[in-house]
Amino acid sequence: MYSASEMAGSQGNDAYLRNALSKYQYPDLAQRDILQAFSHFKDLRPNVDSFVFNDGNRKELLCLAGTIPVTYKGTIYNIPVCVWLLETHPYNPPVVNVKPTATMQIKPGQYVDANGRVYLPFLFEWRHPQSDLLGLIQIMCIIFGETPPVFTKKAEGPTPRAGCPQGGLSYPLYMHPVIPSLPTPSPLSPPTNAAPLWHTPVRSQPKTTIVALHRSTIQQDMLSLFMEPTIIDMKLMVTFIGEKGADGQGLSRDAYCAFWKEFFTSACGEYERVPLLSPKYGQDEWKAVGRILLKGYIDCGVYPLQLSLAFSVAVIFGERSVSSDMLLQSFRMYLPEADRKVVDKALCGEVLDEDEQDDLLDLLSRVGCNSIPKKEHMRNTVLRMAHKELIQEPKYALDAMAETVCGQLQMLFPDVQKLRLMYENKTPTARKVINLLNCTPANKEQSDAFGYLKQFIKGLDNAMLKKFLRYFTGADLICTSHIDISFNRMVGLARAPQAHTCGPLIELPCTYRSYTELRQEFMAILESDYLKMDIV
């Protein structure tokens, strides 16, 4: 047996994994899957050891050994586990075992047998690319928090506590039929640098709450969930009812973006919008909207860029922090394009034709002005109109949201300039999206496919660029530091780019013969009702 510390040295996990996976059938996909899990679960380490199959055969395979954090009755404990990867990973499920120490004992139950073997529906239903290690471990953390798989032995001996099941349970095998036999892991000592084990509590962390949402009622579901003030301190894991996928933030980003998309359909404004007051929304509902705003940004980096910047500043810093220039600019983006052009001409003192004068009078009538003011009074008149539309009209919602979130958002944005900069940084452009792509082509086919992808992104307008981000990252704004690219060799009707929003990762076919082929397939996805697809 050889350990990661012996081989990796200063080169870290990447070099060790490349060597350990050299005999695997899909080393690039396997390594990407492993590194994604490591990025969230720091106490797991790669280790190569000898498997013993049911027929007595042995094989050197990679395992992820260490501990995973589990919340039990409000306290975080560390469960020692070993996740074994078959040579066909990620196309076949791993074999998972709980590995108790000398002072611990297995507690058999619905999901763990007396030998520590873990059986979960997620493993039975494993299907790449919808299934991955990160989703598996997240589900284990939740399941083990409800039914802990180990307990501390009594000092006088290894006899389990009264009421604990004895012996193993019988379960069907979940392995793909092409695998000739199931591995039985050989004993493995926990890594010397592993975190404290199950019987040793560590610092308290937020409890994970699984949230099941319907896409068709996303707005009401989210409002009901966020009526509870303590939701801010919870760790949420989102699932969409009737859809597959494990939440490694991709589904959470998707949920917040879906809420805001639905919310803005009934808001006021064109490019920038403000809440529309409704008899259905009382103070509690608007406070819930504020919590969604705060939680979405804290957990996932999702902030609704359609929300008027002037309105956001008023919520976070107070109305007096909204400068006249900001108010005017937000109002311009609040107006439809035709009205904006008329206002711009009026502010510049240009001569308006008869139709433009009528359009301007229609706007001015909102503030009780029945004639076009003189040039020197035009700016103040427009500012009064902007203040009425962006601040006064939605004031009830503004105050309720501010009461809920202004303190915490002020810590995130110490001044107005920081908030403005966030708006700018999260607004997608083709260049920003291309700069997010993380790809190292290994041959000409892959290099060509990657080039076609960049060409495709450059040709997208703003609306389609947002759809692209929504499909591949779960959010229609820039919320991630990178988008990884891997390649497959899918052909024919089965060929299509695969989205893994939790990475985020794009599985890009390298079998495109031209840019036109790639463009046709990507546009077919973006122009379809893709949110009902199985996005992971």
Decide which of 151, 185, 219 is a domain's last residue.
185
Do 257 and 301 fall into the same domain?
A: yes
Do 155 and 49 fall into the same domain?
A: yes
- Flag whether 456 is in a domain: yes
Contact 91, 128 (CB under 8 A): yes
**Token reading at 466:** 């947002």
Do 33 and 178 fall into the same domain?
A: yes
Total number of domains constituting the chain: 3
Bridge partner list, 80: 67
- Flag whether 292 is in a domain: yes
Decide which of 262, 284, 312 is a domain's last residue.
312
- Flag whether 363 is in a domain: no
- Flag whether 118 is in a domain: yes
First-to-final CA distance of the chain: 35
Contact 497, 517 (CB under 8 A): no
pLDDT confidence of residue 409: 92
CATH number at residue 27: 3.10.110.10
Global pTM reads 0.63
CATH number at residue 295: 3.90.1750.10
Do 297 and 178 fall into the same domain?
A: no
Contact 300, 253 (CB under 8 A): yes
Do 180 and 223 fall into the same domain?
A: no
pLDDT confidence of residue 385: 92
Do 106 and 230 fall into the same domain?
A: no
Contact 82, 107 (CB under 8 A): no
Contact 355, 410 (CB under 8 A): no
pLDDT confidence of residue 177: 26
Do 121 and 245 fall into the same domain?
A: no
Contact 304, 427 (CB under 8 A): no
Query: How far apart are the C-alpha atoms of 511 and 493, rounded to whole Å?
Result: 12
pLDDT confidence of residue 12: 61
Phi, psi of 373 (to 5 degrees): -70, 165
Do 136 and 175 fall into the same domain?
A: yes
Q: What is the pLDDT along the chain (536 residues), one digit of tens a residue?
A: 444 443 434 346 788 899 999 999 999 999 999 998 998 899 999 999 987 766 677 889 999 999 999 887 777 888 999 999 999 999 989 999 999 988 888 988 878 888 888 988 778 778 888 788 998 998 888 888 878 898 887 655 444 333 332 332 222 222 222 223 333 333 333 333 333 223 333 334 445 678 888 999 999 999 999 999 999 888 888 888 877 666 667 889 999 999 999 999 999 999 999 999 999 999 999 999 999 999 999 989 999 999 999 999 999 999 999 999 999 999 999 999 999 999 999 999 888 898 988 889 888 887 677 888 888 899 999 999 999 999 999 999 999 999 999 989 998 899 999 999 999 999 999 999 999 999 999 999 999 999 999 999 999 999 999 999 999 999 999 998 889 999 999 988 889 898 888 778 899 999 999 999 999 999 999 988 655 434 43
CATH number at residue 524: 3.30.2410.10
Do 137 and 249 fall into the same domain?
A: no
- Residue pointed to by tokens 């308290």: 204
Query: How far apart are the C-alpha atoms of 277 and 255, rounded to whole Å?
Result: 23
Do 137 and 92 fall into the same domain?
A: yes
Contact 345, 352 (CB under 8 A): yes
Do 77 and 126 fall into the same domain?
A: yes
Amino acid at 262: E
Do 28 and 154 fall into the same domain?
A: yes
Residue 142: give the domain boundaries.
4-185
- Flag whether 227 is in a domain: yes
Contact 87, 23 (CB under 8 A): yes
pLDDT confidence of residue 35: 92
